[in-house]
Chains A and B, each alone.
Chain A
Amino acid sequence: MSEEQIKSLENQFEARIARDEKIEPKDWMPEKYRQTHIRQMSQHAHSEIIGMLPEGNWITRAPSLRRKVALLAKVQDEGGHGLYLYSAAETLGISRDEMFEQLHTGKAKYSSIFNYPALTWADMGAIGWLVDGAAIINQVALCGTSYGPYARAMVRICKEESFHQRQGYEIMLKLSQGTQEQRDMAQDALNRFWWPALMMFGPKDEDSPHTAQSMKWKLKRKTNDDLRQQFIDQTVPQAELIGLTVPDPDLKWNEERQSYDFGEIDWDEFWQVVKGHGPCNKERMAARVNAWEGGAWVRDAAMAYAEKQQERKTKQVS
């Protein structure tokens, strides 16, 4: 294809997106659109899969059967969400194995929030309430994204995640009505997860070089800072309702903006964790690689069994 032809295709493509038309797997798309989507969708899928680890760790220690079935269901949902997203990413021509390879070698990232440890039962509450709460805000914005398979996966995920946040908040609510020790535990979990949750929306707009392009492709429909503000505004009253204090001395209602002003985020910490120096980066990756390698014989055995069955069927027919 000549450069002129490509330019013309690109113009038609941008016009389709501007008209709010969806892009489907076999449609022509600029290479950069394909690559950006593979990167974002696979990172999103990896986040779901790694996100199973901090919570999976608490399933056997859930304080009641009610909490245990809820946590099991939530972790299973996250596995399911990872699978929706991997499948959607595969429609862009990357294989599942390539994506796993990128995750396991550290070439692909996942959400930094999962590199923080889940130390107490209250962390299950804080994660559901804050981490899933932040994820929902990001994901609702993505339901209208231009790439059809991604948008469809997002719609399913958003429908399912509402329970994740509610079960988390319920855990916090119960603890906040409990003994002093339980209330302290809930406050401590909020203290540790508040700032990392704010970082989930990514760098400030002025430090986010891809924002303009991503907004144009509707891969982002609101900027990082807008989404972060929305999260703060809706979460602060939820904390107040159960008597917990948001660990930010600069947090203050701004009457004029009808929004909360908040303190400076520690971006050094953010970049440290992104670069692999968070409290649990190594542990998470080791658990993931171990599961993949340890499960190899099961995958091989299933494949060998399927082939044998197929052979037997073919023989019977002939």
Chain B
Amino acid sequence: MSTKNWPLWEVFVRSKNGLEHRHFGSLHAADAEMALENARDVYTRRNEGVSIWVVESKHITASNPEHNGELFEPAQDKVYRHPTFYNLPDEIKHM
């Protein structure tokens, strides 16, 4: 029986040039090259992509949803970062 399992990889696919790579899912593979080949077969069987990135899942650092308050709440009361915060006369054009 196998003693070591293939590590997990995250797959990012660019659907077409001009768009960013987007997370598509994950898969297991022995190394980066196999991860790319498997990603081709698993996630782009119908022309879904023109470019693939793979990264071993363990290299991703993710924020913890429990800390969402301290991470994201500070942005909530800063309405002055949005254009609608500023009162201008209706007649003004091109702004």
A residues at B contact (CB < 8 Å): 24, 26-28, 73, 76-77, 80, 83-84, 87-88, 90, 95-97, 152-153, 160, 293, 296, 299-300, 302-303, 305-306, 309-310
Contact = CB atoms under 8 A, between A and B. Distances in A.
A28 to B, nearest CB: 7
B2 A24 contact: no
B18 to A, nearest CB: 22
Given A26-B62, A90-B8, A309 B31 contact: yes
Given A27-B65, A296-B2, A153 B25 contact: yes
B41 interface: yes
Contacts of A24: 65
Contacts of B84: none
A95 B8 CA distance: 10
Given A28-B66, A90-B26, A77 B45 contact: yes
Contacts of B62: 26
8 contacts: A76-B41, A87-B25, A87-B27, A95-B5, A160-B45, A303-B2, A306-B30, A310-B31
B7 to A, nearest CB: 9
A152 B2 CA distance: 31
B19 interface: no
Given A28-B66, A300-B2, 9 more contacts: A24-B65, A80-B45, A90-B26, A97-B5, A153-B25, A299-B6, A300-B3, A302-B6, A306-B31
B28 A302 contact: no
B4 interface: yes
Interface in B10-25: 25
A84 B25 contact: yes
Interface string B62-94: 101110000000000000000000000000000
A96 B5 contact: yes
B45 A87 contact: no
Contacts of A90: 8, 26
Nearest to B8: A90
A183 B59 CA distance: 57
A81 B21 CA distance: 21
Interface residues of B, number: 22
B26 A87 contact: yes
Nearest to B32: A306
A76 B38 CA distance: 12
B50 interface: no
Contacts of A88: 25
Given A26-B65, A27-B65, A300-B2, A96 B41 contact: no
A299 B28 CA distance: 11
Contacts of B42: 80, 83-84
B46 to A, nearest CB: 7
B34 A302 contact: yes
B46 A160 contact: yes
A87 B39 CA distance: 13
Contacts of B31: 302, 305-306, 309-310
A80 B27 CA distance: 10
A73 B64 CA distance: 40
B95 interface: no
A88 B1 CA distance: 25
A24 B66 CA distance: 12
The 10 closest A-B pairs by CB, nearest first: A306-B31, A302-B30, A306-B30, A87-B26, A27-B65, A303-B30, A303-B4, A299-B2, A296-B2, A26-B65
B12 to A, nearest CB: 14
Contacts of B34: 302, 306
A303 B3 CA distance: 10
